Amino acid sequence: MTLNVSNIQHFSTGDGDGIRTTVFLKGCNLRCPWCHNPETISPKPQILNFKAVNEQIAYGKSMTVDEIVADITKDELFYDESGGGVTISGGEAMLQSDGCAALSKELQKKDISVIMDTAGCVPFGEFEKVRPFVDKFYYDFKTPDKEKYEKVIKGNFDLIQSNLEKLIRLGSSVNVRIPLIPGFNTSNEDIEKFKALLLSLKVKEIDLLPFHRLGASKYEAMGKQYLYRDTPVLSKNEINSIFDAFSQNFSVRIET
């Protein structure tokens, strides 16, 4: 069993509890225009050329489950000490649900915790494959607005909504992650809609991920244009007021 891996990142600190290794898988079925990992969208291998520093970084290679496990287990002592583990992210990791299931199963055998980071736009059957081996889902929920979702992100809103609802109903541990994108989902109206929808889905934990422009240079290195190149980041006050609004109903963290 092989996976199409974009890159493996050790000592990840923003992808869950403790010291984690994040396995970024390559290939995505959504087209969020603010995406900070544009190199993970295409399933094909790519070389990013950071001209200013004369640095070429290759993304994308086929790795067997064993190879990935061998790389991950090098940091086992760090996971044990910190209560960390592995986060499988992307791209859309769930597009490789069979590989993810096989990988998670091996990690479960080694008592290494697995978080599955997904935007959820796959048939629920894919979730069934990984559910037994995954400790937690990080479920990206980008907007409560069906029309906006389908127009901007090019996904199936009903599907991601029903998948989230099923995961919660079946007792999976789920953190809903909301990327806070200026001008897209941060108005008072957006937040109120979000709250109403997430409450109805019985969501309890929410992580807020404020927009940043760190990915800009990747677009340049890919010879692409970044539509969010000049979008200003949210101010501390804006982030705090959104945090306060969600805190009335949910347990909320701001991930930076």
Partner 1 sequence: MSITMLLKKEIEAKPAGVFCPDYFKARALNDNSSLSAAEKRGEACFSLFAFSPAFIYKNDLIVGSRRPMFVDLPDKELKECTEICAETGERCFLTNNDHFAPDYAYILNRGIPGVIEDIDNSIAAYSSQNGEKRIVNLLSMKKAMQGLLRMIGKHIDLAEQLKGAEGYNKSNLDFIIGNLTTLLHGVPDGFASALQLVWLCHTCFGYEGRYAMALGRIDQYLWDFFNKSVSSGEITENEAITLLENVFIKIYEKRAFGDGDDVVNICIGGSNENGESCVNQLSYSVLKAVKNCNVPGPNLSARISDSTPDEFLDECLVSIGTGLGYPALMNDGANIPALSRYGYDKKDVYNYCMVGCIENFIPGKQPPWSDGRFDTPRFFEYLFNNGKGILNGKTSGIDTGNVGEISSMPDFLKRFERQIADGVKKYVDNFNRVNTPENPEDLTSPFLSCFAKECIQSGLDINCGGAKYSSVHGAALMGVGTVCDALAAIEKTVYIDRSLTLDEIREALLCNFEGKENLRQTLLNAPKYGNNDDLVDKYSKWFVEFHFKEFSKYKTRDGGPFYILMAANTSNISAGKLIAATPDGREAGEPLSDAASPTYGRDKSGVTATLQSVAKPDYTLVAGGTVVNQKFLPTMFSGENRKKLLALIKVYFKLGGQEIQINSTSPEILKDAMNHPENYKNLVVRVSGFSAFYVTLDRDVQLDILSRTQQAV
The one segment of 11-19, 59-67, 104-112, 165-173 that binds partner 1 by CB under 8 A = 11-19
CB of 256 to partner 1, least distance (A): 6
Show the binding pattern over residues 220-239: x = contacts partner 1 (CB under 8 A), - = does not: xx-----------x------
Alpha-carbon distance 64 to 90, whole Å?
17
Q: For the chain, how big is the Rg over CA atoms in Å?
A: 18
Residue in 29, 42, 215, 238 binding partner 1, rule: CB under 8 A = 215
- DSSP state, residue 95: G
What would the two tokens of residue 248 be?
């009335």
Residue in 55, 189, 192, 244 binding partner 1, rule: CB under 8 A = 55
Residue in 26, 36, 129, 131 binding partner 1, rule: CB under 8 A = 36
DSSP β-bridge partners for residue 85: 20, 113
Asked if 248 is part of the footprint of partner 1 (rule: CB under 8 A), the reply reads no
Alpha-carbon distance 91 to 165, whole Å?
22
Dihedral sign of CA atoms 221, 224, 230, 236 in order: negative
Alpha-carbon distance 35 to 255, whole Å?
16
Where on the chain is the footprint of partner 1 (CB under 8 A)? 9-15, 18-19, 22, 36-37, 50, 52-53, 55, 57, 74-75, 77-78, 81-82, 84, 89, 117, 177, 207, 209, 212-218, 220-221, 233, 255-256
